[in-house]
Structure 1
Amino acid sequence: MDPQEVDVLWQTVQRQSFDDNKLAIIREALREASIPADDARRFVASMTFDRNRIELAKYMYTRVADRQNFYRVYEALQYQSSIKEVQQYVDAYRP
């Protein structure tokens, strides 16, 4: 996704009140696209509940264009246990 498309997606997500709506929009938008890790972090941080942050972080792993920078997404997670859960997912996903 080019930066302008990411900005439009961000604006759309920000207008949503509920995490479920945000997740649905992000998933639809990124079904066939990827974004930079820093943008992924921003979207994960926009979730209200930690379980949704974890879910979105896992989903984002395969949609981050610069996977070597995926560690930046961990900054959006509030708890060490959440980071560990996503790290375990990422480790299991890698060949």
Structure 2
Amino acid sequence: MKRLYFSLIAFLFVSLAWAGSRHDAAILVESQRGELFQLAIGGRMINPVAQRRVAVGDLPAGRHLVDVRVLVPGFRPQRIRAEVILRDGYEAVFVLTPVRYGRRLLLQKVEELPLHRPALPAPAPDPATNPDICRYIMNEEDINRTLRFMKEEGFDDRRLEIAKGEIRLAGGILTDDLYLLLKEIRFEDRRIALAKYAYTYVCDQPKFSRVFDAFEFPSSRREMQDFLYSR
């Protein structure tokens, strides 16, 4: 009876310790060429609907078994299994990269990003602005990473989606950095779409008109001016 009592106490202690442990690691997986895939971590399916980019947060640091099921039209799904190590306080970024001269893909780790970025000083209260904007912004490392992913894509639609996703994930961007992303897009209509989408995430909105220099045609600049004045 006494042994059972101490066993229950020990079990309760371990359970409470596990429940109170920090889950402060994350993983981001995306396909370089835009293949759709499903991701499972430790046997748990993350996205039953196949996607091109999957981010998972609130994970315990340490070793995890990752399974990727890549859907390739006209071929059998490719399965990739790998053991990854997630560090406390960081997001590990993995890219599905093609093997040279073939359709096979490799799960390749490209970088680690800190989860907790330094917050900007709180701006003066202004009822005309969104108080949630600019709590965090894309730093130089984020911008360079986004530019690299955009350069690796051959189609503007994919470049547009990558830029929008990274801006949304970070929560804020500076005008000069948005200009750099716009210049990586070839067609004007996609540039306009990105500029309009990013406007609510721009931290220095009074300087937003600087991005007009990223457009080649006067008609595009006029459309952006009308958009800006309407806001």
TM-score (norm 2): 0.39
Equivalent position to 1:24, from 161, 175, 180: 161
Deviation track 1:27-55 (CA, whole Å, cap 9, x = no partner) reads 11111421111111111121111111111
Residue identity in the other structure for 2:142: E
Q: Which has the higher helix share?
A: 1
Residue identity in the other structure for 1:61: Y
Deviates more, 1:11-20 or 1:26-35: 26-35
CA contact (8 A) 2:175 2:211 kept: yes
Tell me the matched-pair count: 93
- The aligned counterpart of 1:68 is 206
Give the share of equivalent positions with the same residue, in percent: 31
Equivalent position to 2:193, from 48, 55, 65: 55
Q: Does 1:3 align with 2:123?
A: no
Q: Which has the higher strand share?
A: 2
Unpaired segments ≥5 residues, structure 1:
none
Q: Secondary structure at the match of 1:30?
A: helix
Deviation track 1:47-94 (CA, whole Å, cap 9, x = no partner) reads 11111111111112112111121111000001111011011111112x
Higher relative contact order (Cα pairs below 8 Å, separated by 6+ residues)? 1
2: distance between equivalents of 1:15 and 1:36? Answer: 23
Report the CA distance between 1:18 and its aligned residue: 0.6
Which of the two has higher C-alpha Rg?
A: 2
Aligned CA RMSD, in angstroms, stands at 1.2
Residue identity in the other structure for 1:30: I
- The aligned counterpart of 2:117 is none
Unpaired segments ≥5 residues, structure 2:
1-137
Q: Does 1:92 align with 2:230?
A: yes
